[in-house]
Amino acid sequence: MLNFEIKERIPNALGRAGIIKTTHGDIETPAFIPVGTKATVKALTPEQVREYVGAQAFLANTYHLYLQPGMDIMRASGGLRKFMNWPGPTFTDSGGFQAFSLGNVSGKRKSKFGVVDETISNGGQANTYSSWTRPLVPPLRRDSGLLLGLGLLTSASEMSKRSKYSPAQEENDITNSMAKIDDAGVTFKSVIDGSTHHFSPEKSIDIQVAIGADIIFVLDECAPPDADREYQMRALERTAMWAEHSLEYWKKTKRADPNNYQSLFGIIQGGRYEDLRKLSAETIGKMDFDGFGIGGTFDKGDVSKAVNVVCQELPEGKPRHLLGIGELEDMIMAIENGIDTFDCVAPTRIARNGSAYISGGKRINILNAPFRNDFAPVDEKCSCYTCMNYSRAYIAHLFRAKEMLGATLLSIHNLHFVVDFVAKARRAIVEGDFSHFKDDFLKSLHS
């Protein structure tokens, strides 16, 4: 079971330092949680993540583990921790974001801040895929007493009148898509073999129970970054409806298994619209979750305001997790405005492309010509395993020679750098010096 203690607070701000206590260990917050998508942090062993990086916990992906190796193997292995030999706490997301985005194949992936120029491999062939399309969302059922009581839902007939699409257009969009969203959940096709699958709020929980993470998340609808207000409102409505269903099902699941140690987090949506984020936080925050995740999309440079609006509405005594934020400047703003934990694939993703964080929050690309003869560590101020033992020249050689060790060494450095950066932010909060820590970092970053 989860217990959260707040130890210190940032004066005149929402930020705090605390401890999340789980059955499998404590997490001192604020904390960065590395992403181990398929039960592995890419290019690293769990022992390296623990010992060299200093990570307290990690987050795995429900969608990918469901498809491969599958729930039967996860159960037979004794759950995620035993399967991958990880001793500490674990998180899993709901799988919804990947089901919506990877299952809806037609060109560019959407990130929290917009389009990411990436293709996804499906059976060895590059796919092109577009963002989620509004016609995929049919009118919602109006059976949620809580949501109606809050005035959140609008009538189905009103939604229909506002629709800009004809039934023929809607049918065409659904036919051409590999993912379909409705009240019951999301139906999607596997990126591995094209087979059809369905995630409902209840099934997402069943899968995460089989995986066995300490902290799990409800299924939510993460609307694309460029979605208009009407679509974001409908996604918010559906997210709240699914949250209700998930919580009801979760309570039954827990009663059926008194030894279940897992904790369930609700998710806040609302996109770039401040009033919708606030409304989502008000709605989900009143539900009896163990903690809360903040999802959706942000305007670049506006993480501080968006997070502040949400955290003001959430219960003070429960932990808050920000999903998928990897820039150091965004992290420090999120911490100041009340975030306790966050995750992102960015540190390892950019490492595999030859990029490394250095002091001041800047980056270098190890493939640039000057580093071929540079025998200094990646960052002279860093105490990670990589910087203590290897030079920029050696790592540059590994990348140019296409040796896998290059990605491993830079991944160790980047993850250690980010984990240590957040640990320093925590220490600054405890010592009452966060404002100076933030100001010094921002001056260095923009100098």
pLDDT tens by residue, 330-360? 999 999 999 999 999 999 999 999 999 999 9
Based on the fold, state whether residues 164 and 229 are members of the same structural domain: yes
Give the neighbor-by-neighbor strand order of the sheet with 263-268.
31-34, 341-344, 320-323, 291-294, 263-268, 215-217, 90-92, 58-60
- 433 or 228: whose pLDDT is higher? 433
Domain's final residue, options 344, 374, 404: 344
Question: What does the pLDDT read at residue 395?
Answer: 98
CA distances in angstroms from 311 to 223, 233, 305, 337, 425, listed in the order given: 20, 20, 10, 7, 19
Q: Which tens digits make up the pLDDT trace of 255-290?
A: 999 889 999 999 999 888 999 999 999 999 999 999
Compute the Cα dihedral for 143, 182, 240, 194 and give only its sign.
Answer: positive
Based on the fold, state whether residues 68 and 122 are members of the same structural domain: yes
Q: How far apart (Å, rounded) are the C-alpha atoms in residues 55 and 344?
A: 13
Q: Which residues are paired to 217 by β-bridges?
A: 265
Based on the fold, state whether residues 340 and 361 are members of the same structural domain: no
DSSP state of 37: T
Percent of the chain with pLDDT over 70: 82
CB contact set of 256 (below 8 Å; sequence gap of 6+): none
Q: Which residues are identified as catalytic?
A: 93, 343
CB contact set of 25 (below 8 Å; sequence gap of 6+): 56, 57, 87, 88, 89
Domain's final residue, options 293, 321, 344: 344
When pLDDT is averaged across residues 192-196 and rounded to a whole number, the result is 92
CB contact set of 141 (below 8 Å; sequence gap of 6+): 183, 241
> What is the CATH number for 80?
3.20.20.105
Based on the fold, state whether residues 7 and 129 are members of the same structural domain: yes
Phi and psi at residue 431, to the nearest 5°: -85, 0
Question: What does the pLDDT read at residue 414?
Answer: 98
Based on the fold, state whether residues 173 and 275 are members of the same structural domain: yes
Do 419 and 54 meet the contact criterion of CB atoms below 8 Å apart? yes
The listed range with the strongest mean pLDDT (27-31, 132-136, 235-239) is 27-31
Q: How far apart (Å, rounded) are the C-alpha atoms in residues 426 and 435?
A: 12
Question: What does the pLDDT read at residue 252?
Answer: 95
Do 357 and 418 meet the contact criterion of CB atoms below 8 Å apart? yes
246: three-class secondary structure by DSSP: helix
Based on the fold, state whether residues 271 and 350 are members of the same structural domain: no
Give the predicted TM-score (pTM) of the model.
Answer: 0.85
Tell me the pLDDT band of 177, cut-offs 50, 70 and 90: low
Nearest residue to 416 (alpha-carbon basis) of 384, 379, 447, 440 = 384
Based on the fold, state whether residues 69 and 183 are members of the same structural domain: yes
- State which residues form the domain around 191: 3-344
Question: What does the pLDDT read at residue 271?
Answer: 83
Based on the fold, state whether residues 386 and 299 are members of the same structural domain: no
Based on the fold, state whether residues 307 and 418 are members of the same structural domain: no
Phi and psi at residue 115, to the nearest 5°: -75, 135
Percent of the chain with pLDDT over 90: 72
Whether residue 30 has a cis bond before it, omega within 30° of 0: yes
Q: How far apart (Å, rounded) are the C-alpha atoms in residues 281 and 421?
A: 28
Amino acid at 120: I
Domains: count for the chain: 2
Residue 334 has a CB neighbour count (10 Å cut-off) of: 27
CA distances in angstroms from 14 to 269, 276, 281, 327, 419, listed in the order given: 20, 20, 15, 20, 21
Whether the pLDDT of residue 307 is over 80: the answer is: yes
Based on the fold, state whether residues 294 and 363 are members of the same structural domain: no
Do 186 and 198 meet the contact criterion of CB atoms below 8 Å apart? yes
Phi and psi at residue 74, to the nearest 5°: -60, -45
Whether the pLDDT of residue 97 is over 50: the answer is: yes
Based on the fold, state whether residues 299 and 426 are members of the same structural domain: no
Q: Which tens digits make up the pLDDT trace of 362-400?
A: 999 999 999 999 999 999 999 999 999 999 999 999 999
Question: What does the pLDDT read at residue 300?
Answer: 65
Question: What does the pLDDT read at residue 320?
Answer: 98
Q: How far apart (Å, rounded) are the C-alpha atoms in residues 343 and 320?
A: 12
Query: Two tokens at 178?
Result: 């590999």
Whether the pLDDT of residue 317 is over 60: the answer is: yes
413-424 core/surface letters (b: 16 or more CB in 10 A; e: else): bbbbbbbbbbbe
Based on the fold, state whether residues 245 and 327 are members of the same structural domain: yes
Q: How far apart (Å, rounded) are the C-alpha atoms in residues 8 and 430?
A: 6
Size of the chain, expressed as the number of residues it contains = 447
Q: How far apart (Å, rounded) are the C-alpha atoms in residues 37 and 91?
A: 11
Nearest residue to 286 (alpha-carbon basis) of 144, 151, 150 = 150
Mean pLDDT of the chain: 85
Domain's final residue, options 316, 344, 372: 344
Whether the pLDDT of residue 304 is over 60: the answer is: yes
Question: What does the pLDDT read at residue 103?
Answer: 57
Whether the pLDDT of residue 440 is over 60: the answer is: yes
Q: Which tens digits make up the pLDDT trace of 63-78?
A: 999 999 999 999 999 9
Q: Which tens digits make up the pLDDT trace of 104-161?
A: 533 344 444 443 433 222 233 222 222 333 333 334 444 444 444 444 443 333 333 3
